[in-house]
Amino acid sequence: MATLPDGALMQRAATGLATAVADLLGGVYGRRIVLLVGPGDNGGDALYAGGVLARRGASVEAWLLADTWHDDALAALRRAGGRTSAPRPLRAGAVDVVVDGVFGIGARPGLPPRVAEAVIPISSSIPFVAVDVPSGVGVDTGEGGGMHLRADLTVTFGTHKIAHLADPAAQACGVVELVDIGLDLPPAPVESLGEADVAGLLPRPRPDDHKYTRGVVGVRAGSATYPGAGLLAVAGANTGLAGMVRYVGSAAETVKQHHPEVVGPGRVQAWVVGPGTADDAEQHLAEAVADDVPLVVDADALGHVTAPLPQAVLTPHAGELAAMLGVERKAVEAAPLRHATDAAARFGCVVLLKGNHTGIAGERVRITTAGTPWLATAGAGDVLSGLIGALLAAGLAPFDAASVGSWLHGAAGTLASDGGPITATDLARAIPRVVQQIAVRHWGL
Protein backbone atom coordinates (compact mmCIF):
# COMPACT_ATOMS: atom_id res chain seq x y z
CA MET A 1 0.00 0.00 0.00
CA ALA A 2 2.80 2.42 0.90
CA THR A 3 4.09 2.11 -2.67
CA LEU A 4 0.85 3.29 -4.26
CA PRO A 5 1.06 6.73 -5.87
CA ASP A 6 -0.81 9.54 -4.11
CA GLY A 7 -4.53 9.43 -4.89
CA ALA A 8 -4.46 5.89 -6.31
CA LEU A 9 -6.85 4.57 -3.64
CA MET A 10 -9.24 7.42 -4.36
CA GLN A 11 -9.12 6.61 -8.06
CA ARG A 12 -9.90 2.97 -7.34
CA ALA A 13 -12.78 3.97 -5.06
CA ALA A 14 -14.13 6.35 -7.69
CA THR A 15 -13.97 3.68 -10.40
CA GLY A 16 -15.83 1.23 -8.14
CA LEU A 17 -18.41 3.88 -7.31
CA ALA A 18 -18.91 4.84 -10.97
CA THR A 19 -19.39 1.16 -11.90
CA ALA A 20 -21.99 0.71 -9.15
CA VAL A 21 -23.88 3.83 -10.29
CA ALA A 22 -23.77 2.64 -13.93
CA ASP A 23 -25.10 -0.79 -12.87
CA LEU A 24 -27.91 0.83 -10.89
CA LEU A 25 -28.87 3.02 -13.86
CA GLY A 26 -28.55 0.19 -16.39
CA GLY A 27 -26.38 2.45 -18.59
CA VAL A 28 -24.56 5.79 -18.53
CA TYR A 29 -24.96 7.67 -21.83
CA GLY A 30 -27.48 10.50 -21.52
CA ARG A 31 -28.22 9.85 -17.83
CA ARG A 32 -28.58 12.88 -15.54
CA ILE A 33 -26.57 12.70 -12.33
CA VAL A 34 -26.36 15.12 -9.39
CA LEU A 35 -23.41 14.90 -6.99
CA LEU A 36 -23.83 16.22 -3.44
CA VAL A 37 -20.28 17.22 -2.59
CA GLY A 38 -18.88 17.78 0.90
CA PRO A 39 -15.49 19.12 1.96
CA GLY A 40 -13.46 15.93 2.31
CA ASP A 41 -12.38 12.74 0.58
CA ASN A 42 -15.98 11.54 0.38
CA GLY A 43 -16.75 14.50 -1.90
CA GLY A 44 -13.52 13.74 -3.78
CA ASP A 45 -14.68 10.16 -4.45
CA ALA A 46 -18.01 11.48 -5.77
CA LEU A 47 -16.31 14.09 -8.01
CA TYR A 48 -13.83 11.62 -9.51
CA ALA A 49 -16.65 9.08 -10.08
CA GLY A 50 -18.68 11.89 -11.68
CA GLY A 51 -15.73 12.47 -14.03
CA VAL A 52 -15.69 8.80 -15.04
CA LEU A 53 -19.44 8.91 -15.72
CA ALA A 54 -19.28 12.25 -17.59
CA ARG A 55 -16.59 10.83 -19.87
CA ARG A 56 -18.98 7.99 -20.71
CA GLY A 57 -21.69 10.44 -21.79
CA ALA A 58 -23.63 11.23 -18.60
CA SER A 59 -24.72 14.78 -17.79
CA VAL A 60 -23.12 15.38 -14.38
CA GLU A 61 -23.60 18.40 -12.13
CA ALA A 62 -21.94 18.87 -8.75
CA TRP A 63 -23.57 20.76 -5.89
CA LEU A 64 -20.74 22.06 -3.69
CA LEU A 65 -22.30 22.00 -0.21
CA ALA A 66 -19.30 23.14 1.85
CA ASP A 67 -16.88 26.07 1.64
CA THR A 68 -14.03 23.77 0.57
CA TRP A 69 -13.82 20.77 -1.73
CA HIS A 70 -11.28 18.39 -3.23
CA ASP A 71 -9.60 20.64 -5.85
CA ASP A 72 -8.02 17.92 -8.01
CA ALA A 73 -11.24 15.92 -8.11
CA LEU A 74 -13.30 18.94 -9.14
CA ALA A 75 -10.76 19.73 -11.88
CA ALA A 76 -11.05 16.12 -13.11
CA LEU A 77 -14.84 16.41 -13.24
CA ARG A 78 -14.60 19.66 -15.21
CA ARG A 79 -12.08 18.20 -17.67
CA ALA A 80 -14.51 15.34 -18.31
CA GLY A 81 -17.32 17.77 -19.15
CA GLY A 82 -19.07 17.91 -15.76
CA ARG A 83 -20.13 21.22 -14.21
CA THR A 84 -21.07 22.78 -10.88
CA SER A 85 -24.47 24.28 -10.17
CA ALA A 86 -26.49 25.68 -7.30
CA PRO A 87 -28.87 23.39 -5.40
CA ARG A 88 -32.48 23.54 -6.62
CA PRO A 89 -35.66 21.56 -5.96
CA LEU A 90 -35.74 18.32 -7.98
CA ARG A 91 -39.13 16.80 -8.81
CA ALA A 92 -39.56 13.10 -9.64
CA GLY A 93 -37.86 12.26 -12.93
CA ALA A 94 -35.80 15.49 -13.04
CA VAL A 95 -32.55 13.53 -12.64
CA ASP A 96 -31.80 9.80 -12.71
CA VAL A 97 -29.69 9.51 -9.57
CA VAL A 98 -28.27 11.61 -6.73
CA VAL A 99 -24.84 10.63 -5.37
CA ASP A 100 -24.37 11.49 -1.69
CA GLY A 101 -20.73 12.46 -1.23
CA VAL A 102 -21.31 14.93 1.59
CA PHE A 103 -19.74 13.14 4.57
CA GLY A 104 -17.86 9.88 4.86
CA ILE A 105 -16.41 7.68 7.56
CA GLY A 106 -14.65 10.42 9.51
CA ALA A 107 -17.74 12.58 10.08
CA ARG A 108 -19.74 13.29 13.20
CA PRO A 109 -23.47 12.36 13.09
CA GLY A 110 -26.00 14.96 11.94
CA LEU A 111 -26.26 17.35 8.98
CA PRO A 112 -25.50 21.09 8.77
CA PRO A 113 -28.50 23.26 7.78
CA ARG A 114 -26.98 24.04 4.37
CA VAL A 115 -27.02 20.35 3.42
CA ALA A 116 -30.50 19.77 4.84
CA GLU A 117 -31.89 22.77 2.90
CA ALA A 118 -30.40 21.44 -0.33
CA VAL A 119 -31.68 17.92 0.11
CA ILE A 120 -35.18 18.39 1.51
CA PRO A 121 -36.67 19.66 -1.83
CA ILE A 122 -35.39 16.59 -3.72
CA SER A 123 -38.22 14.19 -4.59
CA SER A 124 -38.04 11.03 -2.48
CA SER A 125 -38.60 8.96 -5.63
CA ILE A 126 -35.16 9.88 -7.06
CA PRO A 127 -32.67 7.09 -6.23
CA PHE A 128 -29.81 8.00 -3.87
CA VAL A 129 -26.41 6.34 -3.93
CA ALA A 130 -24.31 6.99 -0.81
CA VAL A 131 -20.53 7.03 -0.88
CA ASP A 132 -19.35 4.92 2.10
CA VAL A 133 -22.33 5.84 4.33
CA PRO A 134 -25.49 7.94 4.05
CA SER A 135 -24.31 11.33 5.32
CA GLY A 136 -25.22 12.11 8.92
CA VAL A 137 -25.43 8.59 10.38
CA GLY A 138 -23.19 7.46 13.26
CA VAL A 139 -20.50 5.57 11.32
CA ASP A 140 -18.95 3.84 14.35
CA THR A 141 -22.11 3.39 16.39
CA GLY A 142 -24.94 2.68 13.94
CA GLU A 143 -26.93 5.38 15.69
CA GLY A 144 -29.34 7.62 13.77
CA GLY A 145 -28.33 10.73 15.70
CA GLY A 146 -29.99 13.84 14.35
CA MET A 147 -30.77 14.32 10.66
CA HIS A 148 -29.23 11.99 8.12
CA LEU A 149 -29.70 11.06 4.48
CA ARG A 150 -31.12 7.73 3.24
CA ALA A 151 -29.78 5.72 0.33
CA ASP A 152 -31.10 3.05 -1.99
CA LEU A 153 -27.54 1.83 -2.53
CA THR A 154 -24.45 2.44 -0.42
CA VAL A 155 -21.06 1.80 -2.00
CA THR A 156 -18.31 1.26 0.53
CA PHE A 157 -14.66 0.38 0.29
CA GLY A 158 -12.42 -2.24 1.88
CA THR A 159 -14.69 -3.45 4.67
CA HIS A 160 -18.15 -2.94 6.12
CA LYS A 161 -18.45 -0.26 8.81
CA ILE A 162 -20.66 -0.55 11.90
CA ALA A 163 -23.25 1.75 10.30
CA HIS A 164 -23.79 -0.81 7.50
CA LEU A 165 -24.70 -3.52 10.00
CA ALA A 166 -26.25 -1.89 13.07
CA ASP A 167 -29.72 -0.37 13.09
CA PRO A 168 -31.02 2.28 12.76
CA ALA A 169 -28.16 3.44 10.47
CA ALA A 170 -28.20 0.13 8.55
CA GLN A 171 -31.79 0.80 7.54
CA ALA A 172 -30.68 4.10 5.95
CA CYS A 173 -28.04 2.36 3.80
CA GLY A 174 -30.31 0.38 1.46
CA VAL A 175 -28.34 -2.29 -0.37
CA VAL A 176 -24.65 -2.18 0.62
CA GLU A 177 -22.04 -2.92 -2.06
CA LEU A 178 -18.47 -3.56 -0.95
CA VAL A 179 -15.65 -2.57 -3.32
CA ASP A 180 -12.16 -3.98 -2.72
CA ILE A 181 -9.57 -1.24 -3.24
CA GLY A 182 -6.62 -3.09 -1.73
CA LEU A 183 -6.71 -1.56 1.75
CA ASP A 184 -4.60 -3.04 4.54
CA LEU A 185 -7.23 -3.27 7.28
CA PRO A 186 -7.13 -3.71 11.07
CA PRO A 187 -9.44 -6.34 12.68
CA ALA A 188 -13.12 -5.32 12.50
CA PRO A 189 -14.67 -3.96 15.73
CA VAL A 190 -17.96 -5.69 14.90
CA GLU A 191 -18.52 -9.03 13.16
CA SER A 192 -21.37 -10.39 11.10
CA LEU A 193 -21.53 -14.15 10.59
CA GLY A 194 -22.05 -15.56 7.11
CA GLU A 195 -23.26 -19.03 6.19
CA ALA A 196 -19.70 -20.44 6.05
CA ASP A 197 -18.94 -19.09 9.55
CA VAL A 198 -22.09 -20.73 10.88
CA ALA A 199 -21.16 -23.99 9.15
CA GLY A 200 -17.82 -23.88 10.96
CA LEU A 201 -19.38 -23.27 14.38
CA LEU A 202 -22.45 -25.53 14.27
CA PRO A 203 -22.11 -28.72 16.35
CA ARG A 204 -22.05 -31.83 14.09
CA PRO A 205 -23.08 -35.26 15.36
CA ARG A 206 -20.18 -37.74 15.45
CA PRO A 207 -20.52 -41.44 14.71
CA ASP A 208 -20.01 -42.31 18.39
CA ASP A 209 -22.59 -39.82 19.68
CA HIS A 210 -25.77 -40.76 21.53
CA LYS A 211 -28.54 -38.45 22.66
CA TYR A 212 -26.91 -37.55 25.97
CA THR A 213 -23.52 -36.72 24.46
CA ARG A 214 -25.26 -34.36 22.00
CA GLY A 215 -26.66 -32.42 24.96
CA VAL A 216 -30.01 -32.13 26.74
CA VAL A 217 -31.83 -28.82 26.78
CA GLY A 218 -34.49 -28.02 29.36
CA VAL A 219 -37.31 -25.57 28.63
CA ARG A 220 -39.14 -23.69 31.39
CA ALA A 221 -41.77 -21.75 29.47
CA GLY A 222 -45.53 -21.31 29.15
CA SER A 223 -48.31 -20.82 31.69
CA ALA A 224 -52.09 -21.05 31.85
CA THR A 225 -52.19 -17.59 30.23
CA TYR A 226 -49.60 -18.35 27.55
CA PRO A 227 -49.40 -22.09 26.86
CA GLY A 228 -48.43 -21.24 23.26
CA ALA A 229 -45.18 -19.58 24.32
CA GLY A 230 -44.20 -22.87 26.00
CA LEU A 231 -45.03 -24.81 22.84
CA LEU A 232 -43.08 -22.42 20.63
CA ALA A 233 -39.97 -22.35 22.86
CA VAL A 234 -40.05 -26.16 22.79
CA ALA A 235 -40.51 -26.07 18.99
CA GLY A 236 -37.30 -23.97 18.70
CA ALA A 237 -35.42 -26.33 21.05
CA ASN A 238 -36.79 -29.51 19.45
CA THR A 239 -35.25 -29.02 16.01
CA GLY A 240 -32.67 -31.79 16.25
CA LEU A 241 -29.67 -29.67 17.24
CA ALA A 242 -29.52 -31.12 20.78
CA GLY A 243 -29.94 -34.79 21.68
CA MET A 244 -33.04 -34.36 23.84
CA VAL A 245 -35.50 -31.75 25.11
CA ARG A 246 -37.01 -31.69 28.59
CA TYR A 247 -40.00 -29.55 29.50
CA VAL A 248 -40.84 -28.18 32.95
CA GLY A 249 -43.97 -26.07 33.34
CA SER A 250 -47.73 -25.93 33.37
CA ALA A 251 -48.19 -26.66 29.65
CA ALA A 252 -46.71 -30.16 29.93
CA GLU A 253 -49.76 -31.99 28.57
CA THR A 254 -50.08 -29.74 25.52
CA VAL A 255 -46.33 -29.94 24.89
CA LYS A 256 -46.41 -33.77 24.96
CA GLN A 257 -49.35 -33.85 22.52
CA HIS A 258 -47.51 -31.69 20.00
CA HIS A 259 -43.97 -32.96 20.64
CA PRO A 260 -43.97 -36.65 21.63
CA GLU A 261 -40.13 -36.61 21.69
CA VAL A 262 -40.07 -34.21 24.64
CA VAL A 263 -39.62 -35.64 28.16
CA GLY A 264 -40.16 -34.31 31.69
CA PRO A 265 -37.83 -33.01 34.43
CA GLY A 266 -34.26 -34.31 34.83
CA ARG A 267 -30.62 -33.33 34.26
CA VAL A 268 -29.90 -30.83 31.50
CA GLN A 269 -26.81 -29.20 29.99
CA ALA A 270 -28.65 -25.88 29.41
CA TRP A 271 -31.90 -24.18 30.37
CA VAL A 272 -34.28 -21.90 28.47
CA VAL A 273 -36.28 -19.82 30.93
CA GLY A 274 -39.03 -17.30 30.55
CA PRO A 275 -41.27 -17.25 27.45
CA GLY A 276 -44.88 -16.94 28.62
CA THR A 277 -44.03 -17.88 32.22
CA ALA A 278 -45.99 -14.93 33.67
CA ASP A 279 -46.20 -15.20 37.48
CA ASP A 280 -44.02 -18.34 37.60
CA ALA A 281 -41.06 -16.60 35.97
CA GLU A 282 -39.12 -15.75 39.14
CA GLN A 283 -39.29 -19.27 40.54
CA HIS A 284 -38.38 -20.86 37.21
CA LEU A 285 -35.36 -18.56 36.95
CA ALA A 286 -34.19 -19.31 40.49
CA GLU A 287 -34.48 -23.09 39.91
CA ALA A 288 -32.65 -22.92 36.58
CA VAL A 289 -29.83 -20.75 37.99
CA ALA A 290 -29.44 -23.20 40.90
CA ASP A 291 -28.49 -25.92 38.37
CA ASP A 292 -25.34 -23.96 37.48
CA VAL A 293 -25.51 -24.69 33.72
CA PRO A 294 -25.61 -22.20 30.82
CA LEU A 295 -29.03 -20.70 30.28
CA VAL A 296 -31.12 -18.50 27.99
CA VAL A 297 -33.22 -15.92 29.84
CA ASP A 298 -36.12 -14.49 27.84
CA ALA A 299 -39.41 -12.61 28.16
CA ASP A 300 -40.96 -12.61 31.67
CA ALA A 301 -37.81 -13.98 33.34
CA LEU A 302 -35.75 -10.97 32.19
CA GLY A 303 -37.46 -8.75 34.76
CA HIS A 304 -36.07 -10.97 37.54
CA VAL A 305 -32.42 -10.73 36.55
CA THR A 306 -30.92 -8.55 39.25
CA ALA A 307 -27.39 -9.90 39.69
CA PRO A 308 -24.73 -10.80 37.09
CA LEU A 309 -25.35 -14.19 35.42
CA PRO A 310 -22.02 -15.16 33.81
CA GLN A 311 -23.31 -18.28 32.00
CA ALA A 312 -26.40 -16.62 30.57
CA VAL A 313 -27.61 -15.37 27.22
CA LEU A 314 -30.27 -12.70 27.78
CA THR A 315 -32.60 -12.27 24.78
CA PRO A 316 -34.67 -9.09 25.25
CA HIS A 317 -36.51 -7.10 22.63
CA ALA A 318 -36.16 -3.32 22.85
CA GLY A 319 -39.10 -2.97 25.27
CA GLU A 320 -37.72 -5.58 27.63
CA LEU A 321 -34.18 -4.17 27.54
CA ALA A 322 -35.55 -0.69 28.23
CA ALA A 323 -37.33 -2.02 31.32
CA MET A 324 -34.17 -3.84 32.49
CA LEU A 325 -32.01 -0.72 32.15
CA GLY A 326 -34.66 1.74 33.39
CA VAL A 327 -34.61 3.81 30.19
CA GLU A 328 -37.19 4.68 27.51
CA ARG A 329 -37.77 2.15 24.72
CA LYS A 330 -37.10 4.91 22.17
CA ALA A 331 -33.62 5.40 23.64
CA VAL A 332 -32.85 1.70 23.10
CA GLU A 333 -34.22 1.81 19.55
CA ALA A 334 -32.10 4.86 18.71
CA ALA A 335 -28.88 3.25 19.98
CA PRO A 336 -29.43 -0.52 20.18
CA LEU A 337 -25.79 -1.55 20.08
CA ARG A 338 -24.77 0.80 22.88
CA HIS A 339 -27.60 -0.41 25.14
CA ALA A 340 -26.90 -4.09 24.42
CA THR A 341 -23.22 -3.54 25.23
CA ASP A 342 -24.10 -1.66 28.44
CA ALA A 343 -26.41 -4.48 29.51
CA ALA A 344 -23.76 -7.12 28.76
CA ALA A 345 -21.34 -5.28 31.04
CA ARG A 346 -23.95 -4.75 33.74
CA PHE A 347 -25.21 -8.35 33.84
CA GLY A 348 -21.82 -9.93 33.12
CA CYS A 349 -23.14 -12.07 30.27
CA VAL A 350 -24.10 -12.19 26.61
CA VAL A 351 -26.99 -9.91 25.65
CA LEU A 352 -28.83 -10.48 22.39
CA LEU A 353 -31.06 -7.54 21.50
CA LYS A 354 -33.74 -8.64 19.02
CA GLY A 355 -34.81 -6.48 16.12
CA ASN A 356 -34.54 -6.15 12.35
CA HIS A 357 -30.78 -6.51 12.69
CA THR A 358 -30.15 -8.34 15.96
CA GLY A 359 -27.10 -7.28 18.00
CA ILE A 360 -25.18 -9.73 20.19
CA ALA A 361 -22.90 -8.17 22.82
CA GLY A 362 -20.49 -10.33 24.78
CA GLU A 363 -16.72 -10.70 24.60
CA ARG A 364 -17.06 -9.04 21.17
CA VAL A 365 -20.01 -7.71 19.19
CA ARG A 366 -21.77 -9.54 16.38
CA ILE A 367 -24.69 -8.37 14.30
CA THR A 368 -27.12 -10.68 12.53
CA THR A 369 -28.33 -9.36 9.20
CA ALA A 370 -30.02 -12.62 8.11
CA GLY A 371 -33.81 -12.53 8.33
CA THR A 372 -36.91 -10.79 7.04
CA PRO A 373 -39.39 -8.31 8.53
CA TRP A 374 -41.99 -11.14 8.23
CA LEU A 375 -40.31 -12.42 11.43
CA ALA A 376 -42.09 -9.65 13.32
CA THR A 377 -44.78 -12.13 14.35
CA ALA A 378 -45.96 -13.39 17.76
CA GLY A 379 -43.86 -16.21 19.13
CA ALA A 380 -40.87 -15.80 16.82
CA GLY A 381 -38.81 -14.76 19.84
CA ASP A 382 -39.96 -17.83 21.80
CA VAL A 383 -38.64 -20.04 18.99
CA LEU A 384 -35.31 -18.17 19.09
CA SER A 385 -34.83 -18.73 22.83
CA GLY A 386 -35.45 -22.48 22.42
CA LEU A 387 -33.04 -22.68 19.50
CA ILE A 388 -30.24 -20.89 21.37
CA GLY A 389 -30.82 -23.15 24.36
CA ALA A 390 -30.37 -26.23 22.16
CA LEU A 391 -27.07 -24.85 20.84
CA LEU A 392 -25.88 -24.15 24.40
CA ALA A 393 -26.76 -27.71 25.41
CA ALA A 394 -24.89 -29.00 22.36
CA GLY A 395 -21.76 -27.32 23.70
CA LEU A 396 -21.45 -23.92 22.03
CA ALA A 397 -20.17 -21.08 24.21
CA PRO A 398 -22.87 -18.50 25.04
CA PHE A 399 -21.58 -15.88 22.55
CA ASP A 400 -21.44 -18.41 19.70
CA ALA A 401 -24.75 -20.05 20.65
CA ALA A 402 -26.47 -16.65 20.59
CA SER A 403 -24.97 -15.53 17.27
CA VAL A 404 -25.29 -18.89 15.48
CA GLY A 405 -28.86 -19.27 16.80
CA SER A 406 -29.76 -15.79 15.66
CA TRP A 407 -28.34 -16.44 12.16
CA LEU A 408 -30.20 -19.79 11.82
CA HIS A 409 -33.39 -18.11 13.04
CA GLY A 410 -33.07 -15.36 10.42
CA ALA A 411 -32.24 -17.83 7.65
CA ALA A 412 -35.16 -20.08 8.67
CA GLY A 413 -37.48 -17.06 8.62
CA THR A 414 -36.33 -16.16 5.12
CA LEU A 415 -36.64 -19.76 3.90
CA ALA A 416 -40.11 -20.26 5.42
CA SER A 417 -41.32 -16.89 4.20
CA ASP A 418 -40.16 -17.13 0.58
CA GLY A 419 -41.33 -13.51 0.33
CA GLY A 420 -44.68 -14.04 2.08
CA PRO A 421 -46.10 -14.07 5.63
CA ILE A 422 -45.15 -16.73 8.18
CA THR A 423 -46.15 -17.88 11.63
CA ALA A 424 -43.76 -18.82 14.41
CA THR A 425 -44.72 -22.47 13.81
CA ASP A 426 -43.62 -22.20 10.14
CA LEU A 427 -40.37 -20.65 11.35
CA ALA A 428 -39.55 -23.50 13.74
CA ARG A 429 -40.30 -26.09 11.04
CA ALA A 430 -37.82 -24.43 8.68
CA ILE A 431 -34.84 -24.64 11.09
CA PRO A 432 -33.88 -28.27 10.29
CA ARG A 433 -34.11 -27.45 6.56
CA VAL A 434 -31.64 -24.58 6.98
CA VAL A 435 -29.24 -26.87 8.88
CA GLN A 436 -29.66 -29.52 6.15
CA GLN A 437 -28.76 -26.95 3.46
CA ILE A 438 -25.65 -25.96 5.42
CA ALA A 439 -24.65 -29.61 5.81
CA VAL A 440 -24.98 -30.23 2.07
CA ARG A 441 -23.21 -27.04 1.01
CA HIS A 442 -20.42 -26.99 3.59
CA TRP A 443 -19.98 -30.41 5.17
CA GLY A 444 -20.29 -32.51 2.01
CA LEU A 445 -22.99 -34.73 3.58
Ligand X SMILES: NC(=O)C1=CN([C@@H]2O[C@H](COP(=O)(O)OP(=O)(O)OC[C@H]3O[C@@H](n4cnc5c(N)ncnc54)[C@H](O)[C@@H]3O)[C@@H](O)[C@H]2O)[C@@H](O)CC1
Residue 169 binds what, of ligand X, ligand ADP, none (CB under 5 to 8 Å, by partner type)? none
Q: Is 226 in the site for ligand X (CB under 6 A)?
A: yes
For the residues of 176-234, what is the DSSP string, one character each? EEEE------PPPSSB---HHHHHHHS----TT--TTTT-EEEEE---SS-HHHHHHHH
State the nearest-atom distance from the C-beta of 434 to ligand ADP, in Å: 14
* Residue 317 assigned ligand-binding role: yes
Q: Is 426 in the site for ligand X (CB under 6 A)?
A: no
Burial label for 276, CB within 10 Å (0-12, 13-18, 19+), is buried
Q: Is 382 in the site for ligand X (CB under 6 A)?
A: yes
Among 50, 138, 336, 371, binds ligand ADP (CB under 6 A): 371
Buried b (16+ CB within 10 A) or exposed e, 358-370: bbbbbeebbbbbb
State the nearest-atom distance from the C-beta of 334 to ligand X, in Å: 13
Residue 366 binds what, of ligand X, ligand ADP, none (CB under 5 to 8 Å, by partner type)? none
* Residue 238 assigned ligand-binding role: no
Number of H helices, E strands in the chain: 16, 15
Q: Is 317 in the site for ligand X (CB under 6 A)?
A: yes
For the residues of 102-150, what is the DSSP string, one character each? S--TTPPSS--HHHHHHHTTB-TTS-EEEESS-TTS-TTT----S----
Contacts (CB under 6 A) with ligand ADP, residues 85-114: none
* Residue 166 assigned ligand-binding role: no
Region near ligand ADP per CB under 6 A, out of 81-89, 287-295, 350-358, 393-401: 350-358
Task: For residues 130 and 153, give the distance between their C-alpha atoms in angstroms, rounded to a whole number.
Answer: 6
Question: How long is the chain?
Answer: 445
Cβ distance to ligand X smaller for residue 226 or 374? 226
State the nearest-atom distance from the C-beta of 400 to ligand X, in Å: 24
Among 142, 379, 398, 413, binds ligand X (CB under 6 A): 379
Task: For residues 442 and 414, give the distance between their C-alpha atoms in angstroms, rounded to a whole number.
Answer: 19
- Site map 408..427 versus ligand ADP, x via CB under 6 A: -x------------------
- Indicate left, alpha or beta for 294 from its phi (over 0: left) and psi (-120 to 50: alpha): beta
Taking CA 217 as the corner, what is the angle to CA 213 and CA 220, rounded to the nearest 5 degrees? 160
* Residue 382 assigned ligand-binding role: yes
- Site map 304..343 versus ligand ADP, x via CB under 6 A: -------------x--------------------------
- Residues in the annotated binding site for AMP: 354-358, 381
Residues that bind ligand X (CB under 6 A): 226, 228-229, 275-276, 299-300, 317-320, 329, 378-379, 381-382
